[in-house]
Copies of this chain bind each other. A is one copy, B any other.
């Protein structure tokens, strides 16, 4: 593997790490971002949108963030329906690194299949899985955390990168840190005592105050062999399925085997299938990430990531938006060329698309998911 490929000029170069030659990034690009409806849709999910005004889709920013670490060794796992859109966003992606799922099966199947394919190509591979739709600043701090994680993973650990909480979120799972590790070049590494589910408000307050908890951002760096070992132990059916597909992957049998096996796989999150039992077995470590992180979970997050450009306190997103604001504040996403007049509502959220309109407030941003579920129940599927 040519390390030179991995350090484009002008990017930070954490390449003085021979272990990165074993590193292969994986980007699971799933989920529709229901709380960002009607901007995010089944046909155009969150990761295909530019939600930060950067000029590129979230998945492209994710890919670019990993290139200095992994070069072209980056695999994307996404739904079949998004293959063309992902390819258009990532022209450097190689065909061997695009894994298309016949149907959604949650993260364990996606990451497990990636691990199994990568294992067959090189059993010494250290994989790093990073969701396609996260916003991370600064990129250099993220890359340093990944390098630490890779160094710890090489000691046969599954390593997650945790986020230092900035408020008592009830929307994220948490990681309780254990004792510090003693791995050279990874001074911040610690064992993981346990993973904790999304807490109630009071518990979240305690987690924040204790200083012992990090947000679980779903980032995992691990030897593929270790990932598969825990998957086999905890989800034997799922493990057998993805290994059967992986055996056929780089052959002419790929299509008919995945068609046959994929529908039989259980849908389960990687946290339950691997991370939690592996933590209980003492096999999981964590590197606290020294960067700001957002999963752009709802329109309130979109407002945080895109501060208002003017004194009205209103964030306006959308090319050629024609928005008139009088005594109002909040966020307007304009996906049409319509004139939008907003009068006398604070912290409002207006999302205007050709076939669907959302009007809510930042405080109710989480309830958008309920609206989508209700629309689905009422058969309004053309706009979902």
A360 interface neighbour in B38, B342, B355, B370, Cβ under 8 Å: B342
Stretch at the interface among A158-166, A279-287, A375-383: A375-383
Q: Decide if A338 touches B355 in the complex (CB within 8 Å).
A: yes
Docked complex Cα distance between A359 and B343 (Å): 6
Residues of B within 8 A of A383 (CB): 338-339
Stretch at the interface among A9-17, A229-237, A319-327: A319-327
Q: Decide if A360 touches B344 in the complex (CB within 8 Å).
A: yes
**A375 → chain B, closest Cβ, in Å?**
6
Interface size of A as a range: 35 or more
A374 interface neighbour in B326, B357, B363, B371, Cβ under 8 Å: B326
Report, nearest first, the 3 A-B pairs whose CB atoms are least far apart.
Answer: A344-B364, A343-B360, A341-B371
Q: Decide if B339 touches A356 in the complex (CB within 8 Å).
A: yes
Chain multiplicity (copies) = 2
A-B pairs with beta carbons under 8 Å apart, 25 shown: A37-B341, A324-B371, A324-B374, A324-B375, A338-B356, A339-B357, A339-B380, A339-B383, A340-B357, A340-B358, A341-B359, A341-B368, A342-B359, A342-B360, A343-B358, A343-B360, A343-B367, A343-B368, A345-B345, A345-B348, A345-B361, A348-B359, A350-B357, A350-B359, A352-B357
Docked complex Cα distance between A339 and B350 (Å): 13
Residues of B within 8 A of A345 (CB): 345, 348, 359-361, 364
Residues of B within 8 A of A358 (CB): 340-341, 343
A370 interface neighbour in B326, B340, B357, B364, Cβ under 8 Å: B326
> In chain A between 310 and 331, which residues have their CB closer than 8 angstroms to a CB of chain B?
322, 324, 326-327
Q: Decide if B339 touches A375 in the complex (CB within 8 Å).
A: yes
Residues of B within 8 A of A375 (CB): 324, 339, 341
Interface set of A (CB-CB < 8 Å, partner B): 37-38, 322, 324, 326-327, 338-345, 348, 350, 352, 354-361, 363-364, 367-368, 370-371, 374-375, 378, 380, 383
Docked complex Cα distance between A163 and B49 (Å): 56
Q: Decide if A371 touches B322 in the complex (CB within 8 Å).
A: no
Q: Decide if A356 touches B368 in the complex (CB within 8 Å).
A: no
Q: Decide if B356 touches A341 in the complex (CB within 8 Å).
A: yes
Residues of B within 8 A of A339 (CB): 38, 355-357, 375, 380, 383
Docked complex Cα distance between A371 and B339 (Å): 11
**A212 → chain B, closest Cβ, in Å?**
35
Docked complex Cα distance between A345 and B364 (Å): 9
Docked complex Cα distance between A175 and B326 (Å): 34
Docked complex Cα distance between A358 and B348 (Å): 13
Q: Decide if A378 touches B324 in the complex (CB within 8 Å).
A: yes
Residues of B within 8 A of A354 (CB): 338
**A330 → chain B, closest Cβ, in Å?**
10
**A310 → chain B, closest Cβ, in Å?**
14
Give the residue name and chain of the B residue nearest to A344 (CB).
Answer: B364
Docked complex Cα distance between A370 and B342 (Å): 11
Give the residue name and chain of the B residue nearest to A374 (CB).
Answer: B324
Docked complex Cα distance between A339 and B345 (Å): 21
Docked complex Cα distance between A48 and B358 (Å): 29
Docked complex Cα distance between A6 and B378 (Å): 50
Known: A339-B383, A343-B359. 12 other contacts (CB 8 A): A38-B341, A324-B380, A339-B356, A342-B359, A343-B358, A343-B360, A343-B364, A345-B348, A345-B359, A345-B360, A345-B364, A350-B359
